[in-house]
Every structure is written in structure tokens, then in C-alpha cells.
């Protein structure tokens, strides 16, 4: 299994509070991704990173920011959590070379009350 | 938007082969076809990928149509542990677009 961990694994928070999710990899892969998964939608890309301090938006980036100060860590921040951000969040990594297979972490279940 | 079309659900008897279809009529010449599966309460797991030729690995086989507009994931002998949602995915730029996949039920 690819060395990807996510923390926390579960979190319950209140509307309006800031939340940061962490993804850590031990594979030295260049690319890292944050997805969210909601019933009926499959996985949707929030943001991704193609190197330290290099990030770009995905399909559903509104309300989220990311940072990558080290190769191994990719942080997802919800500046002011809303109930619509209740979801399961998955981190993924890839080498960035075709076929560019992505490897996924175990997920973080976030509930915003 | 997802560039692939899959049936919402399929059933198979245990120890029988399973053929999971996927249509990708807008595929371009350099698009790899990726298959992932997601077991309950877990992250997606890589299964197999291919470009033009049929591919085999320890988990499954991938049969790609000659025109590349469709592909089929083949599980040679379904087990109860193969019950999952299977996603057929093409890359668009730096992004994978996951549809809702095919939910496979394996009947003992």
C-alpha cells in the first residue's frame, strides 16, 4: 500500500469554525490531490498540487484553500465551515508521469453541525 | 464532467466471471483508461489501466475495444471481497473525473 495517511480520520465541528485536514505521504510523489465524496456524486476534485508551493483549483474549490510547504504534506483548510461541506475527504498522490496512477488515502469523515 | 458511462449496478454469483462495461466514446489518442474500485468505508483502490492493448494483472483483466471507445473490466472469479463500486476513469489534463461507477453485488 502507498504510504498515505490522513488526519484526523473523523471530525465533528460547528458552522463557522475553521478546519484543517492533513495529508501526509512517504512516497516522495510530486502530485497530491484533495477530493470530496458525497452520495450520488462520486469523487470530485477540490484542489491539487504539482509541487511545493504549486497548487491549482479543481472542480469544486469554492470555500476551500490548500497549502503545500513540504513535499510530504498537503493541507486542506475550510476557513469557515458550512453544513454543505459535510463530506468524506480523500487525499491522493501520483508521480505526475503518464499513466499517472493515483493512490488514495483512507479518508477523513467531516461533519459540520 | 465524467467522460465515461457505466451501468449503475450489476450482480454476479460467487466464483463466476464478471464483465464490467464502460463506454468512453470521446476518448483521445493519448488517454489512458484507468479502473479503480472502492470497498465500503475505504478510499478508492487502483485496479488496472491500459492504453490500447488488453492488459492483465493479478487483480483483473482489461479488454479494450479496437476503436478504444469502450472497455471491459473482467474479474475472472468473483469473490465476496470483490463487492465494491468500480470506477472507469479517463484523465482530463491533470484531473481524474470519477463518475458514480458501477456497484457490484456478489451473491454467495
Can you tell me whether residue A108 is helix, strand or coil? strand
Q: Which residues pair with B87 in a beta bridge?
A: B36
Q: Tell me the shortest Cα–Cα distance from A95 to chain B, in angstroms.
A: 11
pLDDT averaged per 10 residues, chain A (length 113): 89 97 96 93 91 93 96 97 97 87 95 97
Q: Which pLDDT belongs to residue B95?
A: 78
Contacts of B42 in chain A (CB under 8 A): 106-107
Q: Which pLDDT belongs to residue A100?
A: 82
CA angle (B29 as vertex; B26, B35 as ends), nearest 5: 70
Handedness of CA B38, B90, B74, B62 (dihedral sign): negative
Q: Which pLDDT belongs to residue B6?
A: 94
Handedness of CA A94, A62, B43, B64 (dihedral sign): negative
Q: Which pLDDT belongs to residue A40?
A: 78
> Cβ of B91 and A100 within 8 Å?
yes
List of chain B residues with pLDDT < 50:
none
E strands, A39-113, are: 42-51, 54-57, 65-70, 73-78, 87-94, 103-104, 108-112
Kindly list the residues of chain B whose beta carbon comes within 8 Å of any beta carbon in chain A: 2, 30, 32, 34, 41-46, 49, 51, 87, 91, 94-101
E strands, chain B, are: 9-13, 18-23, 33-38, 45-50, 55-56, 61-64, 70-75, 84-92, 95-96, 102-107
Q: Which pLDDT belongs to residue A42?
A: 83
- Model confidence pLDDT, tens digit, residues B56-86: 999 899 999 999 999 999 999 999 999 999 9
DSSP state letter for B5: B
Q: Tell me the shortest Cα–Cα distance from A49 to chain B, in angstroms.
A: 10
Q: Which pLDDT belongs to residue A90?
A: 97
Q: Which pLDDT belongs to residue B105?
A: 97
Which cell is B4 given? Answer: 465515461
How far apart are the C-alpha atoms of B32 and A87, rounded to whole Å?
A: 29
> Closest Cα to residue B4, out of B85, B69, B76?
B69
Query: What dihedral do alpha carbons B85, A73, A29, B49 form, nearest 10°?
Result: 10
Kindly list the residues of chain A whose beta carbon comes within 8 Å of any beta carbon in chain B: 31, 35, 40-45, 48, 50, 56, 58-59, 90, 92, 98-107
Q: Which pLDDT belongs to residue A1?
A: 55
Most B CBs within 10 A among A21, A32, A38, A42, hence the mutation to make, goes to A42
Q: Which pLDDT belongs to residue A99?
A: 78
Q: Tell me the shortest Cα–Cα distance from A77 to chain B, in angstroms.
A: 20
**Which residue of B43, B94, B97 is in closest CB contact with A48?**
B94
Amino acid at each position: 500500500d502507498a504510504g498515505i495517511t490522513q488526519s484526523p480520520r473523523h471530525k465533528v465541528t460547528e458552522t463557522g469554525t475553521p478546519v484543517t485536514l492533513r495529508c501526509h505521504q512517504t512516497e516522495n510523489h510530486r502530485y497530491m490531490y484533495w477530493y470530496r465524496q458525497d452520495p450520488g456524486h462520486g469523487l470530485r476534485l477540490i484542489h491539487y498540487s504539482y509541487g511545493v508551493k504549486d497548487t491549482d483549483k479543481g472542480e469544486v474549490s469554492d470555500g476551500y484553500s490548500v497549502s503545500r510547504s513540504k513535499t510530504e504534506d498537503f493541507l486542506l483548510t475550510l476557513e469557515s465551515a458550512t453544513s454543505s461541506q459535510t463530506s468524506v475527504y480523500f487525499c491522493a498522490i501520483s508521480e505526475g508521469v503518464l499513466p499517472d496512477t493515483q493512490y488514495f488515502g483512507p479518508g477523513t469523515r467531516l461533519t459540520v453541525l | 464532467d465524467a467522460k465515461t458511462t457505466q451501468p449503475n449496478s450489476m450482480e454476479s454469483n460467487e466464483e463466476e466471471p464478471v464483465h464490467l462495461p464502460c463506454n468512453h466514446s470521446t476518448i483521445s489518442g493519448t488517454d489512458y483508461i484507468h479502473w479503480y474500485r472502492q470497498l465500503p468505508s475505504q478510499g478508492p483502490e487502483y485496479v488496472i489501466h491500459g492504453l490500447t492493448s488488453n492488459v492483465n494483472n493479478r487483480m483483473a483483466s482489461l479488454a479494450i475495444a479496437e476503436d478504444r471507445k469502450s472497455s471491459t473490466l473482467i474479474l475472472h472469479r468473483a469473490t465476496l471481497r470483490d463487492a465494491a463500486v468500480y470506477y472507469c476513469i479517463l484523465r482530463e489534463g491533470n484531473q481524474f473525473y470519477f463518475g458514480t461507477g458501477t456497484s457490484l453485488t456478489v451473491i454467495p
